[in-house]
Copies of this chain bind each other. A is one copy, B any other.
Amino acid sequence: MLIAEPLQKAIDELSKLPSIGKKTAQRLAIHLLKNDREVVESLITSLRELKEKIHFCKVCFNISVDDICLICKSVKRDRTVLCVVEDASDVLSIEKTNEYNGLYHVLGGVLNPLSGITAESLKIKELMNRVTNNEIREIILALNPNAEGDATSLYLSRLLKETSVKISRIARGLPIGGDIEFADSATIGRAFIGRIQV
């Protein structure tokens, strides 16, 4: 009642963002309120340019400034390997490791029938087209290790078995720096099943 209406509106808008609750939204709004106009304007400009300048790559659906993204264009990447991920943010995380030098395919989500996300709403048809029309030899499924990710991996591996490409899935096990004592039993179980000979 005593919250000024423009402040309440800003709090409501900010708390729609993922991982931002009401309290954090209030803190952010009051921080912006206390700061200079330039701070807010430079945030606004960056958000607008984000939306105006960035599109999705027509080949892999990764984020891109141009029609085709830098990874798909690059001549230094191994064009015979394709890594399937859920989201563009996964591409960023994998790129940071410097362990992967192939191409990507961003599905734009994982199968989740309860939320209405079916195979048709994901870029699965486009994936199949890429696999059959190109020189791809291996597909690495790098979806999140949860129920939806696993279901999607299973679905994709069944579809892809009809082609001649090799299919793999990134390993599950104890995270580096993790502690067996504090790991959940599903993770420890997976680490045993996925053990490799040394």
Residues of A at the B interface (CB closer than 8 Å) are 2-7, 9-10, 12-14, 16-20, 24, 26-34, 37, 39-40, 42-44, 46-54, 63-65, 70-71, 87-89, 91-92, 95
Secondary structure at chain A's binding surface: helix, strand, loop or mixed?
Answer: helix
A50 touches B32 (CB 8 A): yes
Whole-angstrom distance between the Cβ of A18 and the nearest chain B Cβ: 5
What residues of chain B lie closer than 8 Å to A91, measured between beta carbons? 2
Kindly identify which residue among B2, B6, B54 contacts A54, using a CB–CB cutoff of 8 Å.
B6
What residues of chain B lie closer than 8 Å to A65, measured between beta carbons? 4-6
A29 touches B7 (CB 8 A): no
What residues of chain B lie closer than 8 Å to A5, measured between beta carbons? 65
Contacts A17-B28, A19-B24, A33-B88: A6 and B43 contacting too (C-beta < 8 A)?
no
B9 touches A49 (CB 8 A): yes
What residues of chain B lie closer than 8 Å to A52, measured between beta carbons? 6
What residues of chain B lie closer than 8 Å to A89, measured between beta carbons? 26-27, 30
A70 touches B13 (CB 8 A): no
What residues of chain B lie closer than 8 Å to A40, measured between beta carbons? 47-48, 50-51
Whole-angstrom distance between the Cβ of A160 and the nearest chain B Cβ: 25
A30 touches B95 (CB 8 A): no
What residues of chain B lie closer than 8 Å to A64, measured between beta carbons? 4
What residues of chain B lie closer than 8 Å to A49, measured between beta carbons? 6, 9-10
A13 touches B42 (CB 8 A): yes
